[in-house]
Amino acid sequence: MIKSNEIRLGNLFIGYNDKAFKWGLDDFDLIGNNVYVDEVIKSPILLTPEILAKCGFVSVGNTGTSDNWFSDELGETNLMIRIGGNGLITLYIKAKELVSLTNIIYLHQLQNLYFALTGEELTINL
């Protein structure tokens, strides 16, 4: 279940028609005590290499292990994403060294973190 406080305007989810939809202002007006959230959102969108590519992230290889690393295409945000061999997805920020920020699973979490770190919306081409 997705909590209403995890949702921002523009987050993408899968609706009960099995299509991706963007959370809008009308949806916020109808949130009560999470009941409406469950009635509209069938599931969050899992982060995969394919979804990351649609967000402008490109593979920058692996570390000789089964971990795959992704960076934003232009390298301007200093964000790195690692998909571990165990499926765990971790968001990092590049400073003098990589600093692990958080483990994430879903696209809306990446959207929210991206906005918090950059002040800009993540461009997604679904």
Domain count, the chain: 2
Taking only the tens place, the pLDDT of each residue in 18-27 is 989 888 877 6
Is residue 43 scored above 70 in pLDDT? Answer: yes
> Residue 27's domain spans which residues?
4-44
Alpha-carbon distances, residue 1 vs 15, 61, 72, 113 (angstroms): 13, 33, 29, 19
Choose among 85, 88, 60: nearest CA to 72.
60
User: Pick from 44, 60, 76: which residue ends a domain?
Assistant: 44
In this structure, are 56 and 99 located in the same domain? yes
Does a structural domain hold residue 17?
yes
Taking only the tens place, the pLDDT of each residue in 52-104 is 999 988 888 766 667 888 887 666 667 888 888 777 888 777 765 566 667 78
Check residue 111 and give its pLDDT: 92
Q: Put residue 39 in one of left, alpha, beta given phi > 0 → left and psi -120 to 50 → alpha.
A: alpha
Instruction: Report whether 108 contacts 12 (CB < 8 A).
Output: yes
Q: Look at 31 and 80; give whichever has higher pLDDT.
A: 80
Is residue 30 scored above 90 in pLDDT? Answer: no
Instruction: Report whether 17 contacts 123 (CB < 8 A).
Output: no
